[in-house]
Structure 1
């Protein structure tokens, strides 16, 4: 290990932690049916095992910028990873569904601390001209884990006990703590920073209630549920209150002036839409392969694997291009590739070969690798160094909300459309296929809209930098 440069050990350290956290979250999705049996609970109650993680993670993220500045990013990252590992140990010891949900919420708090700090810690040790490659390597965790997690989770469920879905985090998590303690760089602390209490209350309620409403929504009936509507409206009002507070607070929890930097704003738009596309396809592809073509969960996982691998490889390629030539070209090309390949998935037939789907998914994975992380890195490079951790927190919160919104939108569209189509088609397979095709066309249109944003991802201008100069 001594021959590897210190800065790359930082990347490896945060990659271990973030990959473990994201992988574990996606591994639990196929476990819900078994957990329903184990704890003798219904689907709604058991679904909280997934929901609570997303909600507590989203509520914690806005705090990481302030806490990282106050206590130091390395110390806070270690606290977050430790909380996640402890939550994993306790989760494996759960004695009923309520305890399992509580410990999953604890895992979400740890994950909410870790994710925004991961990129901020990388930025601490890499100069701007090298950050594209570094974040591309780290980004493998964010893009590959959601695609391979369900397959690994299914294998564990079939061959072992649900307890191992939590226990498998422990050795890797401890390894991540050891690496982080040894290789992460100590960062400066700002003891004089003041906690924005009102901003914290507003953003916590806003993000938490919106994520809760989205997590409770998977059908059209859920969308019209008065409780879900109330949660969403109150959440939006809380975020509006949050914006008003931040604009008049001397030391805001999240400095919204960074959105005056056009490159950062464009990067957030791109990362949000690509997240919708990623998680929308993670929802649709298993339905396509299992409900239309009749393949099992193992085949479904294998279809995702080549795409995930190519996404990881081309994240590093995209990062290198970003470092050498800037973001506009590589991100625009990536978005065009995603758009074309997503539209291709919108014109499948009952006779389509699984190998064609694998090929299109691979092409789409290449586009994801070239666009997602390079766009995020370009946006983070465009804001002042002293608010990188807060910019990362903002980016992660919006990405989390976009992912949730994408899943809700696609799931409701699929359920409503296949019901309508089944009334006019001969079989449910045909109705499912057409609804899935239409879902991919919608995702393709969304991605196409972002292509101009990729083109305008330019290196930050001096006057843009001045707009956030007051933040210090």
Structure 2
């Protein structure tokens, strides 16, 4: 009889699930919009008569806006209340989506994507804060499993949805689809989210904002420009990265002085939080980088359609859906140091098959490997995030989720740029075709022509192609992908180092009901 209340308290009740539903809908819009645009870039090129580098800024501008606004979300959540701010972010994102669908030029589309990013950048950190406060520290794992579904399925569902909408309707619908979802979520949020209790006592750290937000934007701008120019020596890469790094270092030195800094780096005094965020950061670099490679291999080397490529990587999401609920439950009961290393082993096994890819690798093998990798990913990301946030005092959750999201954004941008540069350099290593250039005037390589021929067979009729050139170019392209997958696999192996330092036993944790916690004697919950 005495055990029943505790068991019941561990379950996610209807009120908490209602809150989780709001956050998941917002996360789905924000995350899908990052990935759904990837398949629309060739369409943007033809619609707006723009280069690939130009249309790629429809993604980069969104990412930069995310990075700029995330640091503000922690303070704003305390100052104005999470419900009020979350609804403003939803409205801003939805309005930005509608404007994107009306764009007549690529410049307008890029500008509207910035507006979208300003709203989308607040949705995830605010959502994590709302969910953590609603469930309490003892149920964070279960809620992170719920939030993790759109976070892991976004890179899979985005290309499928985008390809289908573009094929059956037009590119406008990848943005218009957000309008009804956004409207429903706004109404749902008004009804389901608890009333705000803002704490306006903290002053806003203007000096910190002047260093951190521009520093992040400039640094990520330089990183995002790397795939376009292909070298760190270009001023377009190193100049903004250098200025951004200087601003970020200045912010780190400054942030320990004010009582309420824009991002509270004092949270790193907690060993468990530090280890969890380092593990997550390295993992995100590998995960986000590889997320671009999988569909690209199927599109460029195997000549599949956009929709087919999205369907071929779907087994990864199925695997994640199987393990994520179990991992979320275990994260509340079993130390993550005992589960995450085993999940990383599954990811390594899945990655290894892709390091061996060629032009004729069995789809059964690749889809099976993606499924195994998905099993590992579903049991990795959310437990790591749970380990990070579970150590925080309730009043620190907003700041902690902001810190986690900033690291995710930086890690994702670095991973995408790193894998893109490696793959591009590998592909450029193939032999140039004498007298043949691409639209930018650069010599066209055998691999470049082979990839173009896979996606546009009519090109081989316009360019004289010697016998066997396309096959030779595709073999080289497949080897280039395999080499890049080796780098991603190496990064996953590096993740084992901090993962083995994560907590391997349960330690007594304080809840907000403990007298000591109420008195503020211990600002950090120990997991």
| TM bracket, shorter-chain basis | over 0.9
Q: For 1:204, which of 185, 200, 213 is the aligned residue?
A: 213
Q: For 2:497, which of 428, 447, 452 is the aligned residue?
A: 452
- CA distance, structure 1, for counterparts of residue 243 and residue 498 of structure 2: 31
391 and 470 in structure 1: CA distance in 2 versus 1, 3 angstrom threshold:
closer
* Residue correspondence of structure 1 range 79-228 to structure 2 within 5 A: 79-219=88-228, 221-228=230-237
- CA distance, structure 1, for counterparts of residue 256 and residue 431 of structure 2: 51
- CA distance, structure 1, for counterparts of residue 388 and residue 346 of structure 2: 21
Contiguous gaps of at least 5 residues in structure 2: 1-11, 433-445, 448-468, 511-516
Q: Is the 8 A contact 1:58 1:112 kept in 2?
A: yes
Q: Is the 8 A contact 2:353 2:365 kept in 1?
A: no
- CA distance, structure 1, for counterparts of residue 228 and residue 119 of structure 2: 30
Q: Is the 8 A contact 2:83 2:195 kept in 1?
A: yes
Q: Is the 8 A contact 2:53 2:228 kept in 1?
A: no
Corresponding residue number in structure 1 for 2:455: none
In the TM superposition, residue 286 of structure 1 has moved relative to its aligned partner by 2.3
In the TM superposition, residue 460 of structure 1 has moved relative to its aligned partner by 6.5
Corresponding residue number in structure 1 for 2:283: 274
- CA distance, structure 1, for counterparts of residue 414 and residue 257 of structure 2: 29
- CA distance, structure 2, for counterparts of residue 297 and residue 95 of structure 1: 24
Task: Say yes or no: does 1:469 pair with 2:523.
Answer: yes
- CA distance, structure 1, for counterparts of residue 96 and residue 136 of structure 2: 35
Corresponding residue number in structure 2 for 1:435: 480
* Residue correspondence of structure 1 range 242-257 to structure 2 within 5 A: 242-257=251-266
- CA distance, structure 2, for counterparts of residue 266 and residue 181 of structure 1: 37
In the TM superposition, residue 33 of structure 1 has moved relative to its aligned partner by 2.0
461 and 409 in structure 1: CA distance in 2 versus 1, 3 angstrom threshold:
farther
Range that drifts further, 334-343 or 353-362: 334-343
- CA distance, structure 2, for counterparts of residue 413 and residue 285 of structure 1: 15
460 and 450 in structure 1: CA distance in 2 versus 1, 3 angstrom threshold:
farther
Q: For 2:409, which of 400, 403, 407 is the aligned residue?
A: 400
Q: For 1:380, which of 352, 372, 389 is the aligned residue?
A: 389
Give deviations 1:339-363, integer Å, cap 9, x for gaps. 2221232123443201110000000
- CA distance, structure 2, for counterparts of residue 135 and residue 15 of structure 1: 10
29 and 351 in structure 1: CA distance in 2 versus 1, 3 angstrom threshold:
closer
Range that drifts further, 338-347 or 357-366: 338-347
Corresponding residue number in structure 1 for 2:435: none
- CA distance, structure 2, for counterparts of residue 192 and residue 156 of structure 1: 47
Corresponding residue number in structure 2 for 1:360: 369
Give deviations 1:387-440, integer Å, cap 9, x for gaps. 111111111111111111111111111121233355899822222222211212
- CA distance, structure 2, for counterparts of residue 380 and residue 411 of structure 1: 31
In terms of fraction of residues, the more helix-rich structure is 1
Q: Is the 8 A contact 2:277 2:385 kept in 1?
A: yes
Give the superposed CA RMSD. Answer: 2.4
Structure whose alpha-carbon radius of gyration is higher = 2
In the TM superposition, residue 4 of structure 1 has moved relative to its aligned partner by 6.5
Range that drifts further, 212-221 or 132-141: 212-221
Range that drifts further, 283-292 or 322-331: 283-292
- CA distance, structure 1, for counterparts of residue 156 and residue 501 of structure 2: 30
Q: Is the 8 A contact 1:18 1:114 kept in 2?
A: yes
In the TM superposition, residue 254 of structure 1 has moved relative to its aligned partner by 0.8
- CA distance, structure 2, for counterparts of residue 127 and residue 165 of structure 1: 36
- CA distance, structure 1, for counterparts of residue 207 and residue 507 of structure 2: 32
**Helix, strand or coil at the partner of 2:56:** helix
Q: Is the 8 A contact 1:258 1:468 kept in 2?
A: no
Corresponding residue number in structure 2 for 1:72: 81
Contiguous gaps of at least 5 residues in structure 1: none
Range that drifts further, 153-162 or 113-122: 153-162
Higher relative contact order (CA 8 A, sep 6+): 1
Alignment TM-score, normalising by the size of structure 1: 0.94
* Residue correspondence of structure 1 range 407-426 to structure 2 within 5 A: 407-420=416-429
In the TM superposition, residue 220 of structure 1 has moved relative to its aligned partner by 5.6
- CA distance, structure 2, for counterparts of residue 349 and residue 43 of structure 1: 26
**Helix, strand or coil at the partner of 1:217:** helix
Task: Say yes or no: does 1:287 pair with 2:332.
Answer: no
